[in-house]
Amino acid sequence: MTDSPAPAVESIPFIVELLRESYDAGRLRTIDSRQGQLRQLQRMLIEQEEALLAAMAADLAKPPMEAYAAEIGLVLSEIKHALKNLDAWCAPERVKVQISFKPGSAEIVPEPLGVVLIIAPWNYPTQLLLAPLVGALAAGNTAVLKPSEVAPATAAAMAKLIPQYLDERLVRVVTGGVEETTALLAEKFDHIFYTGNGTVGRIVMTAAAKNLTAVTLELGGKSPAIVAADADIDVTARRLAWGKFLNAGQTCVAPDYVLVDATVEDKLMGALLRAVHDFYGDDPKSSTDYGRIVNERHWDRLTALLDAGGYDSTVCGGHGDRATKFLPPTVLAGVKADAAVMHEEIFGPILPVLAVDDIDEAIRFVNDRDKPLALYVFSSSDDTVDRVIERTSAGGVCVNHAVLQVGVGELPFGGVGASGMGSYHGKAGFDTFSHRKSVLRKPTKPDPSILYPPYKSWKYRLVRRFM
């Protein structure tokens, strides 16, 4: 396993063919072979931690704490969970056979899909490339990894390190931009796993349809946070600020906007201001715990949202420094429902706050929009929380906190509607990259004639009775 250069576009068909040959040869057929690759991935993350932290710092100025916990540590947790449970996941699942099919036995046998393509985004360039790979390898698939060119340091690190640890006959990295991604999508894969925005998700799905390839789309959307009048406001503010300004707001499950009961709006604003100060001090630009916007284009997009108005005041933050891609933690008050910041996912450190009369109004507001990837509800009332969960739809829900639902190994992570399709993490990841094959086993004796012609009336009566 050597330090391999990034492949040219012309080599992509040969890479896919190599991986298919390896799959057909059964190189990942056994549980031991899958565990071996997972342990190698584990080794890479442990031994190359500093290199990966440096790459993510170069791309996004990620603080080491955030980069380790949300990226390296999360993937290590996924690997550990898979290694512990792989025997059980791979075991056939016995199912009952009704009397009309006895004697016989039935089971569901998980089998790998084949050769899969994993396309990762730039905001969590380690986690969102390697966490799906854990599920793919655990299920016995070979894989092409396409890291994002928008996080070039991490992409280069992956292209360099992965061949040093993983078998290149089983996992290959293809770097590059639109040209390389387009060439990959022209190939026939057995599954495509894409994380990113809905616009590219539609392109991926269209390309996959030409080969009838199944897709998992992990998209995003405007994830709301509902703050009830009975919420613990100080704790709520700290958790909202942490979840929103983690990775400078460039998190697909970050609280995108807040719907707060009007009776506690002012109290929440004061608590958010204190939380931002407690986290990042008087000058967030000098804080080593606060990241940067990934590039100038995204900085310009976010600044344009602020310039477009549609809100009464800026509680904190505002315009930053384009040269260093710094945009401070920003909280907007008195936001109108038709403001520019409410049109699409913000994906940056801007938190709009809208006042509502009650929980029912908040629920109506959420339901009038696309289904989000995440929904957050803050309340001390179980009845209120249950009402929100029952009457809204979202990829996932977290009660009285933010973002943490992503880290629970056995909670499937994925969207619904416009926020995505399919899920992964833990057993859900194994299932995503597996086919659940139905198997019925019948003995050769007895061999009753009831199924065979000629179809006598007594046979018809028996079939009607026992089917």
Residues constituting the chain: 467
CA atoms of 220 and 223, how far apart (whole Å): 8
Report CA-CA distances (Å) from 231 to 204, 260, 279, 382. Answer: 41, 10, 21, 11
Report CA-CA distances (Å) from 97 to 85, 111, 370, 398. Answer: 27, 21, 42, 39
CA atoms of 41 and 99, how far apart (whole Å): 47
- What are the residues whose beta carbons fall under 8 Å from the beta carbon of 63, sequence distance 6 or more? 288, 289, 290, 291
Which residue pairs, CB below 8 angstroms and at least 24 apart, start in 193-199? Answer: 193/116, 193/117, 193/118, 193/119, 193/132, 193/136, 193/218, 193/422, 193/424, 193/432, 193/433, 194/119, 194/218, 195/119, 195/120, 195/121, 195/128, 195/132, 195/219, 195/252, 196/119, 196/121, 197/345, 198/418
Q: Which active-site residues does the annotation give?
A: 218, 252
Q: Helix, strand or coil for residue 217?
A: strand
Taking the CA atoms of 120, 196, 60 and 406 in sequence, report the sign of the dihedral they define: negative
CA atoms of 49 and 59, how far apart (whole Å): 15
CA atoms of 121 and 217, how far apart (whole Å): 12
